[in-house]
Structure 1
Amino acid sequence: MSNKIRWGVLGGGGDSLIGVLHRVAASMFDAYQLTGAVFNPDHETSKAFARQIGIPTDRIYSDHHEMIRLEMQLPEDERIQVVSVLTPNFLHFPMAKQLLENGFSVICEKPMTMTYAEALELEAIHQKSGAVFALTHTYTGYPMVRQMKQMIAQGVIGEIQKVDVQYYQGWINPIIHDPQLRKTTWRLDPEKSGISCCMGDIGVHGYQMLEFVTGLEVKSILADLNHLYEDNQMDIDGTVLLRFDGAAKGVLRASQIATAEENNFSVAVYGKSGSLKWEQENPNYLYLLTEDKPLQTLKPGHSYNDKMSLDGTKLPPGHPEGIFDAMGNIYKGVAKAVRNQPYEAGEFPGMRDGVRGMHFIEEAVASHANGNVWTDL
């Protein structure tokens, strides 16, 4: 009998980019077997996609309720163990909730829920379930992001003074200026996306990243968001000032109307004795700056890197790794947790990241709505 983890998927069918990303990531370390799915709300479309990618259709279900009900009727050693939730935002909470209540481990796309209240409820359910929960803040899987985290923890750049996170995209720019087109994307529909578009979609990545690499927690924020048009309720651009404990401060800049930008995500952390910079579009380079030495460039796969960075490196030095590899590292960490194998804190984002992310989104919107005021987290 295969010792692979039996894996299910909700969403991610057809030409979904996110579906391909998850399927490739799950296949990387030979840890998962795609066992059952609901790829599409239409059952026949789901089965057709299953045949297209070469998996049996006997466990392609009509919806997640049927998946859970029928899987629970199977012997435990045949039942799906982990389910990935790859649907639009408004379905994350009800699906993850029902899965956790029935003992399934969950890998969930972000944002975790539609509201902070839902996030707290899901956290309580997770604590009772004994299951593994992972949130796919994919960028934490890059080896040089993990190296950055370890170097900061080791005091390489000294006490943190300033954090600067930027996430600039331009994808919504051709849509937002057309009154009809801006009604066609679910990300601008608060009933499907939640109260925020830009901060909920990409700003929360920056927020999670800065807490991940620094080990600090944001204590208060001041947000200035932009909607461009009165008939658009959702932010598509914004800047958030950040305060941590002590003297450290930061800024988070996110935009979906940064014309012609693709996926310009970067993080810089400035300490008393040095700084570290990383850019998603050039993910294999981590830059270390100090006042007494020339710029140093660290790359993945070398022995000078930390254990967690090396564990997430699949190829020899000089062979670029990218977003599929980063997601694969998250799936690898989840596999260790499901199998009760030792794993390092930080190998996959979890429930805490989701709860804090939803709190950040809601308070950023509130800070802007209340006149750009400081708001405690």
Structure 2
Amino acid sequence: MSAKIRLGILGGGGDSLIGVLHRVASAMYDQYEIVGGVFNPNYDDNLAFANKIGIPTDRIYTDFETMIAEETKLPESQRMQVVSVLTPNFLHFPMAKTLLENGFHVICEKPMTTTYDEAKIIKKLVQENESIFAVTYTYTGYPMIRQMRKMITSGAIGKIQKIDARYYQGWINPIIHDKSKRSSTWRLDPKKSGISCCIGDIGTHAFDMVEFVTGKHVSKILADLNYLYDDNQMDIDGTILIRLDENTKGVIRASQIATGEENGLAIRVYGDKGGLKWEQENPNYLYHLEDGTPLRVLKPGHEYNTELSLDGTKLPPGHPEGIFDSMGNIYKGVAKAIKGEAYDHAEFPTVIDGTRGMDFIEKAVDSHKKGNVWVDIDK
């Protein structure tokens, strides 16, 4: 019998970028074996895709319900141990809930659910069942983001004074100005995507990144969102002021109409002794600023980095590591947790991060609708 963790996958078939990302990440450290799942809603397409990627078809199921029924009949030593949920947002909650109730660990794409109430139900189930639950805020797996976290939480830049998180994309710009297109994409359909498009899709990444690198919780937010058209129910741009513990302040800027932008996630944190800044499109460079000292550029793979950063570095210095490696580090951390091995709690985002992300999304929309007022994020 294989010593690898038995992994099932829901969604991610066809030409899905997310599907490729998760499959490659799961293979990166030789910790997982994909044993089956439901990649596509159409069974013939499902089988064809399994054959294409070389997965045996005996555990490729017609639908999610059949997968649960058949997998739970198998002996504990054969059934799937963990299932990755890569479906559109509205399916995350019912699938994750059923998986947890039937004893599976879960790796879930973000946002974790479509409502904060659903997220709290998932959180309760995880805690009651002592399950492993990861939410793929992928960018937390980058070695230099892990380095940034350790430097900030160890006091390398002193007391935090200012935070600036930005996530700019332009992909929805060609869609939003065409009424037929903006009425047909699932990202702008609240029944499938939840109450938010931009903040729910990418703003929540920036929010999680703020809390991850600082080790602090956002306590209050004030949001000003942009919808562009009266018939569009979903935000596609927004600016959110944030307050953290100890009255530290900052801003989260997110947009899907930043024309020409590709995947511009960036974060800057300034303390009273120095600052750190990082950009996702150039992820191997962490910039360390101090008054009266030349700018320093830290890169992965060097001995001056922390153990957490080095653990997530697979290549010698000078060899670029990217988003596949970042997701692979998250899968690696989940594997340690499933196997009962020691791991750093920064190795993968948990159900707590997913729940706080849903609270952030709802509170941002609430703040905007109430006239751009301060609202509290639950502790």
Structure 1 residue 59 corresponds to structure 2 residue 38: no
Q: Residue type of the partner of 1:38?
A: V
SS of equivalent residue, structure 2 residue 179? coil
Contact preservation (8 Å) 1:227, 1:237:
yes
Partner residue of 1:255?
255
Mapped to 2, the partners of 1:68 and 1:311 lie a distance apart of 35
Give me the whole-angstrom Cα distance separating, in 1, the residues matched to 2:216 and 2:38: 38
2:22 paired with 1:18: no
TM-score for the superposition, normalised by structure 1: 0.99
1:238 aligned residue: 238
Q: 2:116: which partner in 1?
A: 116
SS at match of 1:251: strand
Paired residue for 1:283? 283
Q: What is the alpha-carbon distance in structure 2 between the residues aligned to residue 208 and residue 35 of structure 1?
A: 31
The reply on whether 1:344 has 2:344 as its aligned counterpart is: yes
Inter-partner Cα distance in structure 2 for 1:228 and 1:25: 37
Q: Which deviations, in whole Å up to 9, do the C-alpha atoms of 1:195-222 show, x marking residues without a partner?
A: 0000000000000000000011111000
Q: Does 1:76 align with 2:76?
A: yes
Query: Displacement, 1:244?
Result: 1.4
> 2:137: which partner in 1?
137
What one-letter code is carried by the residue in structure 1 that aligns with 2:222? L
CA distances 1:111-159 after superposition (whole Å, capped 9, x unpaired)? 0001000000111111111221000000000000000000001100000
1:146-161 to 2 correspondences below 5 Å: 146-161=146-161
Please tell me the residue identity of whatever aligns with 1:113: T
| Structure 2 equivalent of residue 202 of structure 1 | 202
Structure 1: distance between partners of 2:197 and 2:159: 34
**What does residue 191 of structure 2 align with?**
191
Would you say 1:367 and 2:367 are equivalent positions?
Answer: yes
**CA–CA separation in structure 2 for the residues paired with 1:219 and 1:348:** 22
CA distance in structure 1 between the partners assigned to 2:186 and 2:15 by the alignment:
17
Measure the CA separation in 2 of the matches of 1:74 and 1:245: 48
In the TM superposition, residue 245 of structure 1 has moved relative to its aligned partner by 2.2
Provide Cα deviations, 1:51-76, integer angstroms capped at 9, x if missing partner: 01111111001111111110110010
Match of 2:9 in 1: 9
How far is 1:345 from its partner?
1.1
- What displacement does 1:247 show? 3.3
In structure 2, what is the equivalent of residue 44 of structure 1? 44
SS at match of 2:348: coil
In the other structure, the counterpart of 1:176 is 176
Partner-residue secondary structure (3-state), 1:180: helix
Query: Is the Cα contact below 8 Å between 1:7 and 1:32 reproduced in 2?
Result: yes
Counterpart in 1 of 2:302? 302
1: CA distance between counterparts of 2:150 and 2:245? 20
- The farther-off stretch of 158-167 and 176-185 is 176-185
Query: What's the CA shift for 1:246?
Result: 2.2
> Which AA in structure 2 matches 1:100?
L
Report deviation, 1:187. 0.4
- Residue 96 of structure 1 corresponds to 96
Determine the C-alpha separation between the residues in 2 that align with 1:104 and 1:248.
39
Q: In structure 2, what is the equivalent of residue 270 of structure 1?
A: 270
CA deviation digits over 1:22-44, x for unaligned, max 9?
00000000000000110011111
Q: Which amino acid aligns with 1:5?
A: I
For 1:42 and 1:250, the matched residues in 2 are separated by 46
Residue 314 of structure 1 deviates from its aligned partner by: 0.2
SS at match of 2:341: coil
1:214 maps to 214
Q: Distance in 1 between matches of 2:245 and 2:311?
A: 32
Counterpart residue identity of residue 330, structure 1: I
SS in 1 for 2:209: helix
Length-normalised TM-score, structure 2: 0.99
SS of the counterpart of 2:246? Answer: coil
Distance 2:219 2:54 in 1: 49
Structure 1 stretches of 4+ with a deviation exceeding 3 A read none
Q: Distance in 2 between matches of 1:341 and 1:149?
A: 22
Q: Distance in 2 between matches of 1:59 and 1:130?
A: 26
Q: CA RMSD in A?
A: 0.6
1:168-191 Cα shifts (integer Å, max 9, x gaps):
000000000000111221000000
Distance 2:64 2:305 in 1: 42
Q: Is the 8 A contact 1:103 1:130 kept in 2?
A: no
SS in 1 for 2:21: helix
Quick one: percent identity of the two aligned structures?
67
Q: Distance in 2 between matches of 1:349 and 1:20?
A: 20
